[in-house]
Amino acid sequence: MFLAVLIAIAFIFLLTFVVPWRKMGDMSKMIWRAYINLAKIPGPKSYPIVGSVWQFKLNSSDFAVQMSGFQQLYAFAEGSPGIVKMWFGPVPIAIVVRPEYCKLLLESSTLITKATFYDKLSEWIGTGLLTSTNEKWFGRRKLLTPAFHFNVLKGYQDIFVKQAQVFLEQIDAYADSGREVDLFPYVKRCALDIICDTAMSTQLNAQIGKNSEYVQAVTRLSDMLFNYERSPWLWLKPIWYASGLGFEFDRLVKMTTDFTRQVIAERRAILMDEGRFGESASLGTKKMAFLDLMLLNQSENGLSDEDIREEVDTFMFEGHDTTSSGMGWTIWLLGQHPQYQTRVHEEMDVVFGDSDREPTEADLKKCVFLDQCIKESLRLCPPVPIIARRLTHDISLGGCTLPKDLTVFLVPMGTHRDPKEWERPAEFYPDHFLPDAVAKRHPFAYFPFSAGPRNCIGQKFAQAEEKTVLSYFFRKYRVESSTPSPGNRFVPELILKPEEGVICRMYKRER
């Protein structure tokens, strides 16, 4: 009860002193229209001012279970419109679950504005490709698309291979030792080294213990951002800073962005020494780091150094957390299901035999069942747990009008468990991705990389990276997850992570 009173006082202060007066009219209008139009949409019980927040679980994993329960109770119930209503204090949220609604929102070329929930993240990574909108977003997307040309991605394969080999060297001592090991930090550092090398042409060497302060700062910032978004009382600057979190956040943001600025300056100096300024950098026909692409196009596209910093930090954040989540969950889930892990091992033996050679593009195309397992892991544990949009105009869904300026959440984890679309919605079942099964489903029943105009620009990059690293791992090791299913709950920070890590025992395979 005390917490509810505290939240109520905080939001009265928010609406009275913090929200700019010029925005109060638009906000009040949206809230009133939402109150009227969303009246028939089911959702958890709410009270004035505090909304639904009074019943939110404080523990992140408990909160994830609670949100999943709300979706099952209100979105999948008989007669439900497939939308869940929730109030974050006085701010209404509509959670959309049905694939046909997700399609309408994600395919729209006008509903591309990110919600205000991304504002705090922008204080770290700026308004780059992830958080920008309208003309700025379209311009950046056009500029960066050549960096993901298929010929460029082929050039990154040697980096995937090199870092995968370092990853195996770091964990090999645990194999056959009888000791448990949490593989998640190792996977995360591997992904961080890969994105640093590909995005910035810089060796971070996180896997061998270098730049540990930067690595720890990135991890801590992700944790702080999630706690900020789900704790409305922290939105008030006096509370944010009085708690000490605001000062810590500012310090870590400065440290990480200063690191990026230093890398940009050093990379520009290298390109100048190599005489590369003035060459064409738009054809996308050879390996080129994102940073190089932007530096070589800086004058032509009117980019400031801060514009470049925004994009590099965006890719550093998005490009390692998402792939490490995908790889970590795949290892953990296959460690829970030896029958599927055996099939992966058999496939590795067919493709590679007893060789430790580097995987080629042709090899990875043959790893069909491994690909199914990765996709099934992304279904159950999508790295991005929430996609949030602010509506720029009214839309009609399920007979309800969702008003302009309303925040809409798309929750892949919920849609990915729709019992109308999935044969075994709550189980790890890689055969969900057999061609016949895929053809029967709604195309928007599965969108771990988002979809439509704002789909993940790096999804092919991520898939190639994950298949390369995991093919190396499962060629060499068998793994047993220590926590029995359905343990190891989700931690829905900005990126979905396992609460207990990827704790397992490893065994070397005899091939």
Annotated binding site for heme: 456
CA atoms within 13 A on the CB side of 390: 16
User: CA 262, CA 196: separation in Å to the nearest integer?
Assistant: 13
Residue 188 half-sphere exposure, CB side, CA atoms within 13 Å?
20
Chain-centroid distance of CA 342 in Å reads 29
Query: Which residues carry a binding-site annotation?
Result: 456
Task: Give the position of tokens 């995987």.
Answer: 359
Provide CB contacts within 8 A for 219, sequence distance 6+: 188
| DSSP sequence for 157-183 | HHHHHHHHHHHHHHHGGGTTS---EE-
Q: Which helix (H) or strand (E) holds 325?
A: helix 305-336
421: CB partners within 8 A, 6+ apart: 99, 415, 441, 442, 445
Q: Select from 197, 153, 160, 219 the least CA-distant residue to 312.
A: 197
Range 255-264 burial, b when 16+ CB lie within 10 A, else e:
ebbebbbebb
The per-residue DSSP string of 22-45 comes to HHHHHHHHHHHHHHHHTTTS--S-
The encoded tokens of residue 177 equal 């030792």
